Structure 1
Amino acid sequence: MSKYQKVIDWLNKCIDEESLKPGDKIPSENVLCEQFGLSRQTIRHAISKLSEDGLLESRRGSGTYVSDQHAEDGNKSVVAVVTTYVDDYIFPSTIRGIESTLSAKGYSMQLSFTNNTTGREQEILTDLLERDDVAGVIMEPVKSALPNPNMELYRKLQDKGMKILFLNSFYPELPFPHVSINDEECAYRAVKALVEAGHKSIGCVLKLDDGQGRERYRGYLRAMNECGLSFTYDHVNWIDTIDIKDGKRALSRVKERLSGCTAVFCYNDLVAGMLMQMLIDSGMKLPRDMSVIGMDDSDMAKIGIGGITISSIPHPKARLGEKAAQNMIRLIHSTGNFTNATYEFAENVILRGSVTAVK
């Protein structure tokens, strides 16, 4: 990390946590030099970057203040928010977090859903290209692990000057920032928790068509390699959006491929719950015969399957929405390249009844 980035991160945190509010004067250059042990030139560079991002404004002869970043008078006060679904257990809280943060700054939210299809995504993007009242788009990608036919529409929106921020995942072909869980790190922590419970043969069930599945697979591999555990692709199971809709029937072959495993990391709590029910129906005793861990810490994880609560990693639903909205507002007000718009949450494992220690 560059020296000035430490100052930027600290000031960003103060603004996010509202210990520095709009209109507040930030500490003087002398105070910041002493606080961070840095030169005046480095401090000025950090302040200049945050001013380009629209977070700070300098007043001649007075000092530097936190900008208000309120929606400007005019016709560009709409932020389009596009998610895949609305009935998922994550999205209502995330959308509320986005809406409350946007409205506090005078922006209105227009909500649309793609139903996780590229056809509907194309319709929405085409409509946005024809509008002049939209300042930015917070977009959840559609099946982000697969090639997508709508890349050119995104580039046209960028050429039009519209700010774009991805939610929950991202398209690797595009240079836009994203706000999401750090899927690789969270998966790594989940698998490490299983290793610390004594498990050595660990499988996984991951989602093939979403970028989150790709990143969670990276975390699974990193944990297995770091812990010196043998890895076989026979224990890796891939499912897609249609499989999840089909329910536990789609997991019929997973039990066979997990043969020899004592634990399994699942893409999310829904998949973990379906797998647990399928294993229980087949006569297995959980967690004695198989420990299971998911992600999202949904209501299902807390209620459990067959009386067994599910170990999981929380999804920062509302906080993720608030952060996405904050960073979108900063993108809108940035006069340069807002380099800190990407943010990833790293959450810790909550162990429950679905994981048991082995000797």
Structure 2
Amino acid sequence: MAKYVNVIEWITKKIDNGELTPGAKIPSENELSEEFNLSRQTIRHAIAQMVEDGILESRRGSGTYVVDLRAEEGERNVVAVVTTYVDDYIFPSTIRGIESNLSEKGYSMQLSFTNNTVTRERQILEDLLQRNDVAGIIMEPVKSALPNPNMELYTQLREKNVKILFINTFYPELDIPHVSLNDAECAYRAVTALIEAGHRNIGCILKLDDGQGRERYRGYLKAVMEAGLPFAYEHVNWIDTIDIRNGKESLAGMKDRLKDCTAVFCYNDQVAGMLIEMLSDIGIKVPEDMSVIGMDDSDMSRLGVGGVTISSIPHPKEKLGEKAATNMIRMIHEGKLYFNATYEFEEDVILRASVSESRE
């Protein structure tokens, strides 16, 4: 990483946590040079980059100040927030994080839900195209691993200078920034935890119709291959949104494909809980006979299923919402250079009762 990036991240963090408020003067070049043990030229480059991105402004003979990113009187001040569901355990916290940051900067939030269908997504996007008060859209993509007929609507919105930021996942066809988990890296860490517990035959159950499933499969593969473990595609199982809605019965056909496994990495805690219930029905105990790990660190993982608490990777939920709102506001106020609003959280495994040492 270039040295000047550390300076940008340091100033950015102080803006995010409120230490540097709108209109505040940042430390001088000499002070920053001493703080980071860098040349004034490097400090000047970092500041120039942030000025170009519209985050700072330089005043001749006075210094450099934090730009006021609050909505001004008469400008577009609505940010549409569109998620797939309202009742999922992740979204209430994420929405709370978005709303708190938007309202603080004078923006109002309009909330909509697609119910994870492209038809409803299209209706929402067409409605937003007809409006003139929308400055930006924070959108959770619909079934982002599958072809989507609504791509041209995103292009039309961007042509109207509406800023768009995806959360939780993204459409690979579109060059639009996103704020999400680093799903591949987090999955890699989850599977690595199973490997470190001595497991060699590790299966997975992943979601077929969204981008998180694709990226988590990438992390699963990386961990297995790096460890030199045997890879068997029959240990890889795919489910979709309807399967998850139908519960443990959707996993019944997987028992033969997982019979040689001593551990399973699951798409999320909900799927991990379904698997534990299914295994219990056929007399397989967790973790004595099979270890299970999920993602999201939901209430289910902490409370447990069938008396077994679930090992998991946390989802940053509210922090993700706050970061999405912060980056959206900066996109709206971008300078000459396009602000890179993509940010991916990396979280560590929380081990609980569902994972034990392998007896292989």
TM-score (norm 2): 0.97
Tell me the distance in 2 between the aligned counterparts of 1:204 and 1:306. Answer: 21
| Other-structure match for 2:68 | 68
CA contact (8 A) 1:75 1:132 kept: no
Q: Which moved more, 1:215-224 or 1:329-338?
A: 329-338
CA contact (8 A) 2:144 2:210 kept: yes
Q: What are the Cα deviations for residues 135-164 of structure 1, in whole angstroms up to 9, with x where unaligned?
A: 000000000011111111101111111100
Q: What are the Cα deviations for residues 207-237 of structure 1, in whole angstroms up to 9, with x where unaligned?
A: 0000000000011011111111111111000
Q: Which moved more, 1:341-350 or 1:29-38?
A: 29-38
> Is residue 213 from structure 1 mapped to residue 226 from structure 2 by the alignment?
no
> Is residue 94 from structure 1 mapped to residue 94 from structure 2 by the alignment?
yes
> Is residue 31 from structure 1 mapped to residue 36 from structure 2 by the alignment?
no
Tell me the distance in 1 between the aligned counterparts of 2:336 and 2:112. Answer: 29
| Other-structure match for 2:42 | 42
CA contact (8 A) 2:330 2:339 kept: no
Tell me the distance in 1 between the aligned counterparts of 2:180 and 2:40. Answer: 35
CA contact (8 A) 1:97 1:322 kept: yes
Counterpart amino acid of 1:260? D
Tell me the distance in 2 between the aligned counterparts of 1:337 and 1:269. Answer: 40
Alignment partner of 1:312: what SS?
Answer: strand
Q: What are the Cα deviations for residues 298-351 of structure 1, in whole angstroms up to 9, with x where unaligned?
A: 111111111011111111111110110000001001123334311111111111
1:23: how far off?
Answer: 2.4
CA contact (8 A) 1:198 1:358 kept: yes
| Other-structure match for 1:112 | 112
1:75: how far off?
Answer: 4.0
Q: What are the Cα deviations for residues 169-199 of structure 1, in whole angstroms up to 9, with x where unaligned?
A: 0011111110001101110110011111111
Counterpart amino acid of 2:86? V
Tell me the distance in 1 between the aligned counterparts of 2:19 and 2:71. Answer: 22
Alignment partner of 2:356: what SS?
Answer: coil
> Is residue 295 from structure 1 mapped to residue 295 from structure 2 by the alignment?
yes
CA contact (8 A) 1:163 1:328 kept: yes
CA contact (8 A) 2:169 2:212 kept: yes
Tell me the distance in 1 between the aligned counterparts of 2:293 and 2:10. Answer: 34
> Is residue 170 from structure 1 mapped to residue 175 from structure 2 by the alignment?
no
Mapping for residues 152-231 of structure 1, pairs under 5 Å: 152-231=152-231
CA contact (8 A) 1:167 1:178 kept: yes
Q: Which moved more, 1:289-298 or 1:52-61?
A: 52-61
| Other-structure match for 1:59 | 59
Tell me the distance in 2 between the aligned counterparts of 1:16 and 1:222. Answer: 34
Tell me the distance in 2 between the aligned counterparts of 1:299 and 1:211. Answer: 24
CA contact (8 A) 1:263 1:292 kept: yes
1:36: how far off?
Answer: 3.1
Tell me the distance in 2 between the aligned counterparts of 1:132 and 1:337. Answer: 24
CA contact (8 A) 1:310 1:352 kept: yes
Counterpart amino acid of 1:51? V
Change (3 A) 1:53 1:199: same
Tell me the distance in 1 between the aligned counterparts of 2:214 and 2:150. Answer: 20
Counterpart amino acid of 2:267? Y
RMSD: 1.2
| Other-structure match for 2:147 | 147
Tell me the distance in 2 between the aligned counterparts of 1:41 and 1:338. Answer: 23
TM-score (norm 1): 0.97
- Give unpaired runs (5+ residues) of structure 1: none
CA contact (8 A) 1:22 1:68 kept: yes
Tell me the distance in 1 between the aligned counterparts of 2:194 and 2:167. Answer: 29
| Other-structure match for 2:280 | 280
CA contact (8 A) 1:213 1:267 kept: yes
Tell me the distance in 1 between the aligned counterparts of 2:272 and 2:76. Answer: 43
Counterpart amino acid of 1:27? P
Tell me the distance in 2 between the aligned counterparts of 1:181 and 1:220. Answer: 15
Tell me the distance in 1 between the aligned counterparts of 2:11 and 2:317. Answer: 24
Tell me the distance in 1 between the aligned counterparts of 2:175 and 2:5. Answer: 21
> Is residue 2 from structure 1 mapped to residue 2 from structure 2 by the alignment?
yes
Tell me the distance in 2 between the aligned counterparts of 1:31 and 1:93. Answer: 38
Tell me the distance in 2 between the aligned counterparts of 1:101 and 1:145. Answer: 30
CA contact (8 A) 1:330 1:338 kept: no
CA contact (8 A) 1:83 1:113 kept: yes
Q: Which moved more, 1:187-196 or 1:35-44?
A: 35-44
CA contact (8 A) 1:139 1:167 kept: yes
Tell me the distance in 2 between the aligned counterparts of 1:182 and 1:17. Answer: 22
Q: What are the Cα deviations for residues 42-89 of structure 1, in whole angstroms up to 9, with x where unaligned?
A: 322221221222211112211001122101111400000000000000
Counterpart amino acid of 2:184? E
Alignment partner of 1:112: what SS?
Answer: strand
1:24: how far off?
Answer: 2.1
Q: What are the Cα deviations for residues 244-291 of structure 1, in whole angstroms up to 9, with x where unaligned?
A: 111111111111111210000000000000011000011112111110
> Is residue 350 from structure 1 mapped to residue 350 from structure 2 by the alignment?
yes
1:12: how far off?
Answer: 1.4
Aligned residues: 359
Counterpart amino acid of 1:226? E
